[in-house]
């Protein structure tokens, strides 16, 4: 066994430029996406209004609806076939009277997909239940805020 050979890496090599699409879709139109999964290089052409999955890659279940005064983070990534894969964090409260405020932990994608960014979704007091893959991104819907972050997991979404 060769213990000196590193395991093949997975990484996103450029910024996707994630943004809302129309209805339930997502877009990245700045550049084609360059990424590696288990050491193999892939390119994903820019996407305008790309379909979003309706099931979590980790659990295999439909995404959990985010109720009023809650938030969640969705890891966005691609697999070797160029299919968008998404994982949802646990729900967290937006109640600012309860200290300390806890942001959702970033979900981890399986090693068959590489994270290319994430989106934090917050449903405020004037919003309505919102579900990834079923509810609209466009608008944005009343009382719903989306915070997109491209690339790796070094940055965290703001609590505002």
How does residue 96 score in pLDDT terms, banded at 50, 70 and 90? low
Note the pLDDT tens digit of each residue in 25-39.
999 887 899 999 988
So what's the pLDDT on residue 68?
94
Q: What is the largest CA-CA distance in the chain?
A: 59
Q: What is the pTM of this model?
A: 0.88
What is the band of 80 on the pLDDT scale with cuts at 50, 70, 90? Answer: very high
Cα separation values, 14 from 55, 71, 134, 143, 147, Å: 26, 27, 28, 32, 19
Q: Which of 152, 17, 127, 138 is nearest to 72 (CA)?
A: 127
Span 103-111, average pLDDT:
85
- pLDDT at position 160, please? 36
Q: In the prediction, which pLDDT does 1 show?
A: 53
Q: Domain locations in the chain?
A: 11-150
pLDDT of residue 84: 96
> How many Å apart are CA 74 and CA 123, to the nearest integer?
14
Tell which residue, 101, 99, 90, has the closest CA to residue 64. 90
């Amino acid at each position: 066994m060769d213990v000196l050979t590193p395991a093949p890496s997975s990484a996103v090599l450029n910024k996707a430029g994630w943004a809302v699409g129309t209805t339930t879709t997502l877009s990245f139109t700045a550049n084609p996406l360059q990424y590696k999964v288990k050491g193999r290089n892939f390119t994903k052409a820019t996407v305008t209004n790309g379909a979003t999955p309706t099931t979590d890659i980790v659990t295999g279940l439909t995404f959990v609806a985010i109720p009023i005064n809650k938030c969640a983070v969705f890891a966005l990534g691609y697999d070797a076939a160029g299919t968008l894969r998404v994982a949802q964090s646990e729900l967290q409260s937006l109640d600012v009277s309860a200290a300390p405020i806890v942001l959702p932990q970033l979900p981890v994608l399986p090693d068959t997909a590489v994270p290319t960014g994430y989106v934090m979704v917050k449903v405020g007091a004037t919003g309505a239940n919102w579900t990834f893959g079923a509810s609209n991104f466009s608008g944005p819907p009343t009382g719903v805020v989306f915070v997109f972050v491209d690339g790796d997991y070094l940055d965290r979404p703001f609590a505002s």
